């Protein structure tokens, strides 16, 4: 059976969503990042980057949420855009990479510096918030012209966007939802799907640490003990 190494963060949830949508049997294995599970040798053997999610599917080991989405979609033939023309393939890859290299990292850093950084540096907070807003704006404009990210078909790109966009209030603040009505429409639609509700509920199978104490900070942000010169 396929194994999903996960936490409650945005990236693992999008993979859980695909698995639930596709009806693939899987074993959910918790990786409690606040306890430092991601740095244990057994997990590093799966993902040397010490991040979640990762999957083990027989002989295949895949890490990075976007790589996993593409792997599972191509393996099952599900939740891919209609047709396999260069145009369609180009759009699929471009938007997946848009999330992987832009939306996800900028959203994550916005959360970190706004909520968790020991020093509240206005320049840094504003820089990441600006880029997060810029990326959400691009998605909102796209979804103002079409029902889903790649047209009229629900695909892995929509799952990819949902993973981070559903937590937009954590990234830039609840009050900013009004700026992105088309993106919110997609998030609300996907969140209402039974598969999304099942994906979110997998966290209830395991007890994750909720305190952001000093041990959690060290485990999640290891640079706190490292001086760079």
Nearest to 62 by CA among 102, 3, 115: 3
Q: Percent of the chain scored above 70 by pLDDT?
A: 97
Q: Percent of the chain scored above 90 by pLDDT?
A: 82
pLDDT for position 222: 73
pLDDT for position 51: 96
Domains of the chain: residue spans and CATH: 2-79+198-225 (3.40.30.10), 86-192 (1.20.1050.10)
Residue 103 — very low, low, confident or very high, per pLDDT cuts 50/70/90? very high
Nearest to 109 by CA among 126, 122, 123, 128: 128
Residues ≥6 apart with Cβ < 8 Å to 86 = none
E-assigned strand segments in 14-135: 26-30, 54-57, 60-63
Residue with token string 């807003």: 133
Instruction: Please write the tens of the pLDDT for every residue from 200-229.
Output: 999 898 889 889 888 988 998 876 554 544
Nearest to 21 by CA among 151, 159, 150, 163: 159
pLDDT for position 56: 98
pLDDT for position 148: 98
Q: What mean pLDDT is predicted for residues 47-73?
A: 98
Residue 122 — very low, low, confident or very high, per pLDDT cuts 50/70/90? very high
Residue 109 — very low, low, confident or very high, per pLDDT cuts 50/70/90? very high
Q: 35-39, 154-158, 166-170, 225-229 — which is least confidently predicted?
A: 225-229
pLDDT for position 84: 84
Instruction: Work out the mean pLDDT of the chain and round it to a whole number.
Output: 94
Residue 53 — very low, low, confident or very high, per pLDDT cuts 50/70/90? very high
């Amino acid at each position: 059976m396929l194994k999903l190494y996960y936490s409650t963060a945005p990236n693992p949830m999008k993979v859980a969503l695909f698995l639930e949508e596709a009806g693939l049997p899987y074993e959910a294995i918790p990786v409690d990042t606040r306890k430092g599970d991601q740095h244990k040798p057994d997990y590093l053997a799966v993902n040397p980057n010490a991040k979640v999610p990762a999957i083990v599917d027989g002989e295949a080991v895949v890490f990075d949420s976007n790589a996993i989405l593409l792997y599972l979609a191509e393996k099952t033939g599900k939740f891919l855009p209609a047709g396999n023309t260069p145009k369609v393939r180009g759009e699929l890859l471009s938007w997946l990479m848009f999330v992987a290299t832009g939306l996800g990292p900028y959203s994550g850093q916005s959360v970190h510096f706004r909520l968790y950084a020991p020093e509240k540096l206005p320049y840094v907070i504003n820089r990441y918030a600006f880029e997060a807003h810029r990326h959400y704006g691009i998605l909102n404009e796209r979804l103002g012209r079409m029902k889903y990210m790649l047209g009229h078909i629900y695909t892995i790109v929509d799952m990819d966007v949902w993973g981070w966009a559903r937590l937009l209030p954590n990234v830039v603040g609840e009050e900013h939802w009004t700026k992105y009505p088309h993106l919110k429409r997609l998030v609300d639609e996907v969140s209402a799907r039974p598969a999304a509700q099942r994906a979110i509920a997998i966290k209830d199978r395991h007890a994750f640490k909720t305190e952001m104490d000093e041990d959690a900070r060290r485990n999640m942000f290891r640079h706190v003990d490292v001086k760079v010169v």
